[in-house]
Copies of this chain bind each other. A is one copy, B any other.
Amino acid sequence: MVDVLAPNATIGILGGGQLGRMLSVAASRLGFKTHVFEPSAQPPAGHVADKVTTASYENAEALKAFAASVDVITYEFENVPTSALDLLESIKPIRPNRRALAVSQDRISEKEFLVDLGLKVAPFAAVDTAEDLDKAIAEIGTPAILKTRRFGYDGKGQSRIMAPVDAAKALEDVAGAPSVLEGFIDFTHEVSVIAARGQAGDVSCFDPGENVHINGILHTTTVPATLTSSQRMDAVLLAAKVLNALDYVGVMGVEIFVTKQGLVVNEIAPRVHNSGHWTQNGCVIDQFEQHIRAVAGWPLGDGKRHSNVEMLNLIGDDVDKIADYAKDGSVAIHMYGKSDVKAGRKMGHVNKITGAA
């Protein structure tokens, strides 16, 4: 059943970073108000949201008041503590649903879920101890990469193992947290599909984008991606399979390695995704609005692309180049309103239109 939000209803957003900020703007465009819940002070989303609650996810009273003030709850990141979600869900619906969060919060659950769907993933093994790691290295080989099962993002909580001798250092890097060893994939490039699923089960995907990472952080996404038409179709169908299996409502980012042996799923993110920022200037309805439409029970946009785009993240000092980007009429600037520039911090992004689609 489709639960259509009333006009002027309020959407609660867990997380007040740049994704929450851009979700908030999209919600306002459709006539909704937003209320952002964020533990940190002065969150980027706060400048554009109707209301902000600054409180920790352990603050039950704040969570209750937040849930009572909104009509539906969504989130900008997948690592919201389970206890907070339990409390919120007892008061208002959360979309996307808990299963998507449960699966994606743990790299092992995620990979097992994908394998069960018949999708390819990198070889992997759970690692809790030094013995587990030795065994996993023997089985999977090197090079490989040790990742914490939970709370990793932008290359954090990861350590490369080029040879078995790196094992001890890798265990130190993950600080003994429950982890997973992943075999390296011999891929030619990475693409991602930004897929959306509505409450009625309708699925709509944006054209896959091609991603380049630097130091584990997304650097550029370019559309169109280098894909044959059958690869493009496979990527979209694969993403749709994931969303359908989770009875998902909202936008999901599905990162895919393109290899000689076919498409291998790198990871899924149950939220709007950095690699979908190009849609803001390449499509009539972008990923942020698409997510809000799904959450609000509206029809989805068709994902059609009117322009070719190169999205470039502005990390740390990159913001100093804004004055130059501003001179180029084919460049759309999207700043996040963060006052402190820090190395590795995502400060904004630009979408350069490179031609008509």
Contacts and interface: CB of A to CB of B under 8 A. Distances in A.
A329 B284 contact: yes
A155 interface: no
A335 B9 CA distance: 13
Contacts of A32: 337
Interface in A282-320: 284-285, 293, 298-299, 301-304, 306-307, 319
Interface in A27-49: 28-34, 46-48
A306 B307 contact: yes
Copies of this chain present in the complex amount to 2
A281 B283 CA distance: 9
A47 B51 CA distance: 8
A196 to B, nearest CB: 12
B47 A33 contact: yes
Contacts of A284: 281, 329-332, 353
A346 B117 CA distance: 49
Nearest to A336: B31
Interface in A113-143: none
Contact of A337 (B28, B332, B348): B28
Interface string A128-164: 0000000000000000000000000000000000000
A348 B48 contact: no
Contacts of A285: 329, 332
Interface residues of A, number: 45
A48 B25 contact: yes
A51 B249 CA distance: 33
A241 interface: no
Interface in A44-58: 46-48, 50
B353 A31 contact: no
A43 to B, nearest CB: 12
Contacts of A319: 7
Contacts of A84: none
A327 interface: yes
A334 B353 CA distance: 23
A339 interface: yes
Contacts of A48: 24-25, 28, 48, 50
A285 B329 CA distance: 7
B30 A333 contact: yes
Contacts of A8: 337, 339
Contacts of A333: 29-30
Contacts of A337: 8, 28, 31-33
Please indicate which of the listed interface residues A34, A329, A334, A348 has the most CB atoms of chain B within 10 Å of its own CB.
A329
B326 A299 contact: yes
B353 A326 contact: no
Interface string A230-250: 000000000000000000000
Given A7-B335, A21-B28, 10 more contacts: A25-B25, A28-B47, A34-B47, A47-B50, A284-B330, A285-B329, A301-B329, A303-B329, A304-B330, A356-B356
The 4 closest A-B CB pairs, nearest first, are A31-B335, A302-B329, A47-B50, A299-B327
17 contacts: A7-B319, A8-B339, A28-B48, A29-B333, A29-B335, A30-B333, A30-B335, A31-B348, A48-B50, A281-B284, A284-B329, A284-B330, A284-B353, A285-B329, A306-B306, A306-B353, A356-B356
